[in-house]
Amino acid sequence: MQGTAENIVLIGMAGVGKSTIGVLLAKALHRNFVDTDIVVQSAEGRCLQEIMDEGGKEAFQAVEERHVLSIHILGAVIATGGSVVYSNMAMAHLSRNAVTVYLKLPLDQLEKRVENVDTRGLAMEAGQSFEDVYHERLPLYERYADVTIDCEGLNHDEVVVRVVASLAGKLRSTG
């Protein structure tokens, strides 16, 4: 897996651990790591919540899509923002030369992990709850996933081991 040109794209809800698992996975596989939320914040010069507050969900999604479409890298682990699945174009771009891994956790566990819903920069409409967003995104995660990892009861290192095992035979070799 170290000698593959394909990316490993992590999708899933806020709080599942995409960024942390992505860093650990990149280290384990000797790959570069990209966090699309950091790409967006760095390019925009403001945090995700500011983008949401200033423009709302649609504007946030347009900004996110534009920056995701600007990512051109091979052989990396890419942790995405949870809302990237709203964009068919962004997902098509990320999925080209990639295996997409959906990191899945039940709603009740995600809610325990995400206490800062109002300040985290989540793409959600005014009046929407975290639960509403979860149910809205679930079919999108399932649609785009090449591999689904059930993270329930696992620590980050155990999730990485499961991801590595699930990718065996799924990535094309560069040589």
* 51: in domain: yes
* 22: in domain: yes
Question: Are residues 19 and 25 in contact, defined by beta-carbon separation less than 8 angstroms?
Answer: no
pLDDT reported for residue 4: 64
pLDDT reported for residue 170: 74
Can you give the CATH number for the domain in which 53 is found? 3.40.50.300
pTM for the whole thing? 0.93
- For the residues 29-52, what does the mean pLDDT come to? 94
- For the residues 90-110, what does the mean pLDDT come to? 96
**Residue 6, amino acid:** E
* H or E stretch covering 84: none
Show Cβ contacts of residue 152 under 8 Å, excluding neighbours closer than 6 positions: 104, 105, 106, 109
**Pick from 84, 78, 71: nearest CA to 144:** 84
What's the order of all strands across the beta sheet hosting 32-35?
32-35, 76-79, 7-11, 98-104, 147-150
pLDDT band at 172 (very low <50, low <70, confident <90, very high): low
Q: Rounded to 5 degrees, what angle do the CA atoms 117, 65, 173 make?
A: 105
**Pick from 2, 7, 4: nearest CA to 29:** 2
- For the residues 41-70, what does the mean pLDDT come to? 93
The total domain count for the chain is 1
* 130: in domain: no
**The domain containing residue 109 runs over which residues?**
7-125+145-167
Rg of the chain on CA atoms, in Å: 15
CB environment 131-165: b (16+ within 10 A), e (fewer): eebbeebeebbeebbeebbebeebeeeebbebbee
* 54: in domain: yes
On the question of pLDDT at 174 being above 60, the answer is: no
On the question of pLDDT at 117 being above 80, the answer is: no
Q: What does the mean pLDDT of the chain come to?
A: 91
* 174: in domain: no
On the question of pLDDT at 61 being above 60, the answer is: yes
pLDDT reported for residue 154: 96
